[in-house]
Amino acid sequence: MISQGYIRDILCGLVKTSALDDRIRVSTHVLYPSNGAVTVSVLSGQDSCIVSDDGGALSELISCGISAQIIDPLMRPLVRNKGLHFSQGSIVSPSVPFDAVGAAILLVANASRTVAEWGIKNLKNRARRNFRADLDDLLKRHFSDNLVHKSSIVGANKSHNFDYVVNLSDSRKLLVAPVLNDASSINSAVVTNLDVRLAERPDLIQVIVFDDAENWTTSNLKLLEMGARTLPFSQAEVGLQRLATSQ
């Protein structure tokens, strides 16, 4: 039969500590969503200490593609409700006496995990909006002199505004429509591109760029193809240049 002492020794062995110049690092039993152990640091003064997650929750969220600019203002009220504060990307405890350091370590470690879990659940979809900024940067790098934003293109039934139009050297135009993985964005891209496609204008090259970091259904990707040829963002750099130079 397993003993209490054996279990205690096993658990104690899981806690790793290391001394740095001005603090002690503690690897805890608490796990992030990635299953990595939450590590905190203890900065000691004369008769009190401060515990910090050293930016662990922030790093966990950034590794999921979530922008630090999104995280910062939303994390502050979450940790404040736990009696902690968010400082320079880290979750930090108030100054506590030595006999409360164990509780402070557990509080900060659990808060770091909770913040990471909350952020992944609630902020990950916001990360996709960086896709538009990334596509904007890509187009500016390769087509800056010939790139027009928000240009009107006449379709079979009416005019439509395209986010990006690249004027090519042979009087053709490359129409680039970024689309997000939601119903309104998909429907708008399909309707716009389909109407332009029905105009049968040989001077226009249409492409819908989608963020393949998102979980797209096969049916939604097929729907996009009804409007125009599709291009995953991971292949956009090569794909758009190929379309721009094709005859």
Task: Return d(Cα 184, Cα 178) in angstroms, integer.
Answer: 13
The average confidence (pLDDT) of the chain is 87
CA atoms within 13 A on the CB side of 122: 11
Task: Return d(Cα 155, Cα 164) in angstroms, integer.
Answer: 16
Model confidence pLDDT, tens digit, residues 71-115: 777 778 888 888 999 888 899 999 999 999 999 999 999 999 999
Model confidence pLDDT, tens digit, residues 236-247: 889 998 888 876
Q: In the chain, what are the domain boundaries? A: 4-126, 130-245
pLDDT at residue 164 above 90? Answer: yes
Handedness of CA 112, 27, 98, 89 (dihedral sign): negative
Q: Quick one: fold of 130-245?
A: Trna Endonuclease; Chain: A, domain 1 (3.40.1350)
What pLDDT is recorded for position 190?
95
- The whole model's pTM is what? 0.53
Residue type, 65: G
Count the Cβ atoms, other than its own, within 10 Å of residue 10. Answer: 10
pLDDT at residue 191 above 70? Answer: yes
